[in-house]
Amino acid sequence: MTAARPASLAASDLTIQTARAATLDDSRDKWRSGSRKNALDSSLRVNWRTTGDYSNGNMDTLPTDLQRLAAALDYAARRHRNQRRKNEEQDPYINHPISLLHVLAVEAHITDADVLCAALLHDVIEDCARNPEERLELAAEIERRFGARVLHIVEEVTDDKTISKADRKRAQVEHAKHLTHAAKLVKLADKTVNLRDVVHSPPAGWPLRRRREYFDWANEVVQAIGPAHARLRSLFDEAFAARP
């Protein structure tokens, strides 16, 4: 015959059993939650791979900066695929945004992925849209694929081609000081690359006077930008020192 257990011990056993049950329930909840999260993460990653759209994800599900840059480069290359630079060699246009990326990331050591993506995309809206409707379509596509901040930077450095070239050049000088810091970085890199190109491989048919005028105008834009990034400004000054 089994002896009766003390009431205090029975109560203690009940407490232990209750605690174990609670721990088990908690573990099951965490497992279910983790499974749902893993499934969501997987879904978002697949969605980004197939559509390039990651703007609705969170920091745990966004692609890496390297993936974003690769996607931006691929997108820019596709958009500029039929365009050429104006030099005698008619270099593929995509060489230009790649040069901006090199100046920003390699020479100036800038690591902001939004700035680097915007540099690769900076001429897409301006040079690939044939009408206002296409400008809106490209803007929406850039925002969907790369986020609102990247689009904003791109739009800040995009000229309005509905006005004359002379007015566009004046507008760049007037608006330069109002650019966000990120847009100033892209603009500085753009002007640096263009000065280098004018020296080493200028647009076909540009006489010395026109090349000098471009240098002087680019310098006006950069002076209006003001102090934005010491290393980038130094790179621009080095390029400007080669004024023909």
- Can you give the pLDDT of all 244 residues of the chain as single tens digits? 434 444 443 444 444 444 444 444 454 444 444 443 343 333 333 344 334 554 444 444 567 999 999 999 999 999 999 999 999 999 999 999 999 999 999 999 999 999 999 999 999 999 999 999 999 999 999 999 999 999 999 999 999 999 999 999 999 999 999 999 999 999 999 999 999 999 999 999 999 999 999 999 999 999 999 999 999 999 999 999 999 9
Question: Would residue 51 count as lying in a domain?
Answer: no
User: What was the pLDDT predicted at 75?
Assistant: 98
Question: Would residue 70 count as lying in a domain?
Answer: yes
What is the count of structural domains for the chain?
Answer: 1
CB atoms within 10 A of CB 183: 24
Query: How far apart (Å, rounded) are the C-alpha atoms in residues 80 and 75?
Result: 9
Q: Quote the crossing angle between the two packed helices 230-240 and 208-225, to the nearest 10°.
A: 160
The residue length of the chain stands at: 244
Question: Would residue 205 count as lying in a domain?
Answer: yes
Question: Would residue 134 count as lying in a domain?
Answer: yes
Domain that holds residue 196: 65-240
Question: Would residue 45 count as lying in a domain?
Answer: no
Phi-psi region of 147 (alpha: psi -120 to 50; beta: other; left: phi over 0): left
Query: How far apart (Å, rounded) are the C-alpha atoms in residues 57 and 24?
Result: 31
Contact criterion met (CB below 8 Å) for 183 and 156? yes
Residues 6+ apart with CB under 8 A from 95: 85
User: What was the pLDDT predicted at 22?
Assistant: 46
Nearest residue to 71 via CA among 121, 134, 139 = 121
Question: Would residue 111 count as lying in a domain?
Answer: yes
The pTM of this model reads 0.76
User: What was the pLDDT predicted at 206?
Assistant: 98
Question: Would residue 81 count as lying in a domain?
Answer: yes
Q: How far is CA 183 from CA 6, 38, 103, 139, 221, in A?
A: 77, 36, 14, 16, 13
User: What was the pLDDT predicted at 122?
Assistant: 98
3-state secondary structure of 87: strand
User: What was the pLDDT predicted at 61?
Assistant: 56
Please report how many Cα atoms fall inside a 13 Å half-sphere around the Cα of residue 185, on the Cβ side.
26
DSSP string, 119-154: HHHTTHHHHH-SSHHHHHHHHHHHHHHH-HHHHHHH
Cα distance from N-terminal residue to C-terminal residue, the chain:
111
CATH of the domain at 183: 1.10.3210.10
Query: Which residues belong to the active site?
Result: 126-127
3-state secondary structure of 99: helix
Question: Would residue 20 count as lying in a domain?
Answer: no
Residues linked to residue 87 through DSSP beta bridges, in sequence order: 203
Retrieve residue 28's tokens: 């099951």
